[in-house]
Chains A and B, each alone.
Chain A
């Protein structure tokens, strides 16, 4: 009714509707905004402030300027911890490739029990992080799950490394747990994107004589590139702030597996250097922002047309999760 009314008397109605609108918007926005400011922006502002001080939880020992930031870049152990992210980034690439592979197979081919495969692959994502810690401790223990499987296919135990002890492989072992956990999640996102492609395109392509690989390249890949971008950005930023695998499987970052995020945790909660930890957190955030911007610039250059729809789809996909 109001729609018709406003059409009849546009000037008179508009004022009143606007006023109502403002009221409604204010009221509805007030609560989430209040919560957002209280729990995100105020703590964030405090974190910026703390990062310039030498302080513990209860004592402030004074302003130190950029000292905390300088330490992040000059101390060897922090730089080393940051470089560990490279392992997780490499893992992220493998993870996306695997997820895309499974997603295309499960969408394109008529596989009996595809639903079961999807569920099985997605299941690790639902497992609690602490449980993953226990699972993989036993998985990697000398002579336990992984070793017995490898022995069963004929590899002698002596030829196998100690998966968590040997520093040449232990970070890869941890990256594997991360890939194991998040691959299914990526896959489900890809399947969702693939499902939104018009199926008649495949039919047309088949009639034109395109094989599966050509279909994948010409139809699926362009059709899902926005979701692909989203997955890539989430995985790379996730690699930069990797924490869980090294904390729960790698004994709280022992034996050279302490990622930058774990160093922050130790700094804040063991040594109680809150100022230093805040500065480290700021650096981590800056790195994540930098990587996100770099990726977007890169892809803007590579695939120009997808940019417009990227934000909308990314938000949609995020909302789904």
Chain B
């Protein structure tokens, strides 16, 4: 018995020591990774990702990558309903790389391998601050998105809209012209899918105010941020477009039975005039199965102007993070693959995204973005990294964080006209104020 005990004890100590030893051998940072080195790395990578629509493309990347790194095996697991599933699995060991779900910033280090300091990586890549905490990056974006509005060029021309609308009033006027002069649905809300409605939250920061600090620094401290600013800017102006469109009958007739996959060829074929979605949706609409006119799909900036100037919010798509519980080989191999995806795969360009590599090329869809400034949200102030997510949770409004219901309600009330837009915004203000009070947030 004693022998057994001592054996176990010895085993524990050996294991403990190896654990310490491997932890001490630090991983290189993301910028230190050079493709073409370490080609004998052997590891198995399990890659959890949300792009269920492009398995062939992703497997093609794996094949391409394995020409240089033949001993690294990569297996993609593509998950529908990704945001929720990933959140449940983030602490597990059954994945090596995953698209980082909405975990709180101070918990990033609990799940993900640090990729390097923000200071260094920010000079080389776009949107690095999104998944960083206290100056350390934990994820690298797959591609960048600029947020604007999808529209059908032919329908706009037929409706006599020659100049792209720049303000909410011009936009509603354009939608009315579409309704009068064409058979297209002026604004397709994609109400039923839910997240497509939450997509409207993306415009309340940079696009509605022109300020990079708005989303993470001003909004948490703002008093009644959803009140009418009187000049067609601010969050009020953004959601007002949706309310007015619903109230004036400028949206699809039976919005409760919309079909996300079905809407793609409809925009392409001119049955839909506009849709408010990020630029990532552009390629999906253009290349939609059953679409006859890919050349008609256009992309424009969100119709809010601040002192005559338009701004487009830009940011990284899902960031890739590496599991902190993986072995050293797996972590290193994952680094090489992510580096390859960022520099060699051409993923961002082919997806119509803003390049992650600062030397990367912009695709043509941003042709209409001439003179429009692309800005990404500034980070929260030090010590307030989790404030926005806490306010989101407390107020139950959940901006940019799955708060789809509140936007769907705008459509419902607009359509039924049973609650004025002012009342809805007043409710939001009340919820926001209450959340600020319960979290003792200083209101400026």
Contacts and interface: CB of A to CB of B under 8 A. Distances in A.
Given A170-B256, A251-B191, A266 B405 contact: yes
Interface in B88-106: 104
B384 to A, nearest CB: 15
B90 to A, nearest CB: 10
A230 B257 CA distance: 36
Contacts of B394: 273
A254 B403 CA distance: 12
B192 A254 contact: yes
A253 B404 CA distance: 11
Contacts of B194: 251-252, 254
B250 to A, nearest CB: 16
B396 A255 contact: no
Given A269-B84, A273-B393, A254 B398 contact: no
A255 B257 CA distance: 11
A258 B401 CA distance: 19
A141 B257 contact: yes
B257 A58 contact: no
Interface in A45-72: 56, 58-59
A140 interface: yes
Contacts of A142: 253-254, 257
B398 A271 contact: yes
A73 B412 CA distance: 25
A141 B253 CA distance: 10
B255 interface: yes
Contacts of B408: 251, 254-255
Interface string B39-58: 00000000000000000000
A137 B257 contact: yes
A270 B403 CA distance: 7
Contacts of A225: none
Interface string B396-435: 1010011111001000100010000000000000000000
B211 to A, nearest CB: 26
Interface residues of A, number: 28
A189 interface: no
B37 interface: no
A148 interface: no
Contacts of A269: 84
Interface residues of B, number: 26
A306 interface: no
Contacts of A251: 191-194, 256, 408
Contact of A162 (B192, B193, B256, B392): B256
A171 to B, nearest CB: 12
A167 B411 CA distance: 13
B149 to A, nearest CB: 23
A270 B400 CA distance: 11
A152 to B, nearest CB: 20
Contacts of B392: 271
Interface string A125-163: 000000000000110111000000000000000000010
A256 interface: yes
A253 B107 CA distance: 31
Interface in A1-36: none
A164 B408 CA distance: 14
Given A251-B191, A273-B393, A165 B255 contact: yes
B259 interface: yes
Given A269-B84, A270-B398, A273-B393, A254 B254 contact: no
A271 B257 contact: no
Contacts of B192: 137, 251, 254
A136 to B, nearest CB: 10
Interface in B320-363: none
A170 B396 CA distance: 25
B256 A58 contact: no
A140 B192 CA distance: 13
A77 to B, nearest CB: 10
Contact of A58 (B107, B401, B405): B107
A264 to B, nearest CB: 13
Contacts of A271: 392-393, 396, 398
A295 interface: no
Nearest to A173: B256
Contacts of B191: 251, 254
B405 A137 contact: no
A104 interface: no
Nearest to A267: B396
B102 to A, nearest CB: 9
Contacts of B393: 56, 271-273
B84 A162 contact: no
A270 B256 contact: no
A270 B392 CA distance: 10
Contacts of A167: 416
Nearest to B195: A252
B403 A164 contact: no
Contacts of A59: 104
Contacts of A56: 393
Contact of A164 (B256, B401, B416): B256
A140 B256 CA distance: 10
A163 B404 CA distance: 22
A269 to B, nearest CB: 6
Contact of B257 (A140, A253, A258): A140
Contacts of B398: 270-271
B405 A164 contact: no
Contacts of A252: 194, 404-405
Nearest to A138: B257
A134 to B, nearest CB: 9
A164 B257 CA distance: 7
Interface in A241-299: 250-256, 258, 266-267, 269-273
Contacts of A170: 256
Nearest to B84: A269
Interface string B189-224: 001111000000000000000000000000000000
A254 B405 contact: yes
Interface in A215-256: 250-256
14 contacts: A137-B192, A137-B257, A137-B259, A141-B254, A250-B256, A251-B408, A252-B404, A254-B191, A254-B405, A254-B408, A256-B412, A266-B405, A270-B401, A271-B392
Given A141-B257, A142-B257, A273-B393, 20 more contacts: A56-B393, A137-B257, A142-B253, A142-B254, A162-B253, A162-B254, A165-B254, A250-B256, A251-B191, A251-B193, A252-B194, A254-B191, A254-B408, A255-B408, A255-B412, A266-B405, A270-B403, A272-B393, A273-B394, A273-B396
Kindly list the 3 A-B residue pairs having the minimum CB-CB distance in the complex, ordered from nearest: A164-B256, A141-B257, A142-B254
